[in-house]
Amino acid sequence: MTDANLPILMEPRQLADIAEREDLLIVDLSDASIYARHHIPGAVRLEYGKLLASRPPVMGLLPDEEDLAATLATIGLSPETHVVAYDNETNNKACRFLWTLDVAGHRHFSLLNGGLKAWLAAGLPVDDKPRLVTPSRYPVRYSDEHCADKAYILEHLEDPEVIIVDTRSAAEYAGNDKRAFRAGHIPGAVNVEWTQAIDRQNDMKFKPAGELREIYESAGVTPDKEIIVHCQTHQRSSHTYMVLKSLGYPRLKGYPGSWSEWGNDPETPIETG
């Protein structure tokens, strides 16, 4: 759920029209050098690495609740704030941030469709001055509603009501591109590479909703199922998470450890090909 008047997927001109709302916080997850050069007026920058924790070889994990609470406090976030997030690349970092908010129980958020690229392409104003932020207090309590771990996936491998979506490349999925101790995929997972959702001819925005539904439903990824998305470290799959959320899929989970955990555990079952 989000503000009933604000869409989960927000267009640049929609944001421009409401950018000065007091209950709105625009969060930029771009590189520091890009933010210093140009960003959406009023946007506060958030360092992407602060959203992650690692226990090598497992990467892409959620930080401790206390650490995330401290990070969110530095950008002035409150539970009532509506967040609009973007970055300067393909919005993967922004999507990972919004998934993290979902896991933390923050429901008021939107993704800027196409990110900074689309904002600039629309000819909208930019600023080079950092936003001064009054730190807040933000309580963080993680829920498993939108987060799956290895044990949960093992428990549901043969559950017909659960679809695991591997958003990595076809080569990674087949086991030809090895990025962990073992290569391949989780048994029964379907492969829909995250880039299939991107409209490269339209400022890296999401493809039209009808086209997206056809892509996912043709792979068996249907709204009546529980969907678990993963990649290597749940950055690429966070993009897919937000695509499916924008399409109204009601039961979504992300797997933060992803293949960096599954592929490096000698005990987990895998398939290749």
Distances (CA, A) of 244 to 166, 195, 213, 222, 269: 14, 13, 9, 10, 27
pLDDT in tens, 184-238: 999 999 999 999 999 999 999 999 999 999 999 999 999 999 999 999 999 999 9
Strands 252-254 and 226-230: parallel
Dump strand ranges (E) for the chain: 9-10, 24-28, 44-45, 53-55, 58-61, 82-86, 109-112, 162-166, 190-191, 198-199, 205-206, 226-230, 252-254
pLDDT tens digit string along 97-147?
A: 999 999 999 989 999 999 999 999 999 999 999 999 999 999 999 999 999
Domain ranges across the chain: 9-121, 150-262
Identify the pLDDT of residue 5.
Answer: 82
Integer Cα distance of 31 and 43 in angstroms = 13
> 10 Å Cβ neighbour count for 161?
9
State pLDDT tens for residues 2-41: 455 899 999 999 999 999 999 999 999 999 999 999 999 9
Residues in the chain: 273
- Extract the tokens encoding 39: 């960003």
Cβ(272)–Cβ(174) below 8 Å: yes
78 within 8 A of 20, measured Cβ to Cβ: no
pTM over 0.95, yes/no? yes
pLDDT at 4: 58
Residue closest to 197 by CA, chosen among 257, 252, 245, 255? 245
Which residues are known to be catalytic? 231
CATH superfamily for domain 150-262: Rhodanese-like domain (3.40.250.10)
Q: What mean pLDDT value characterizes the chain?
A: 97
CATH tag, 9-121: 3.40.250.10
The reply to whether domains 9-121 and 150-262 share a CATH topology is: yes
1: pLDDT strictly greater than 80: no
Q: For the purposes of burial, counting CB atoms within 10 Å of the CB of 82, is it exposed (0-12), middle (13-18) or buried (19 or more)?
A: buried
Radius of gyration of the CA atoms of the chain, in A? 18
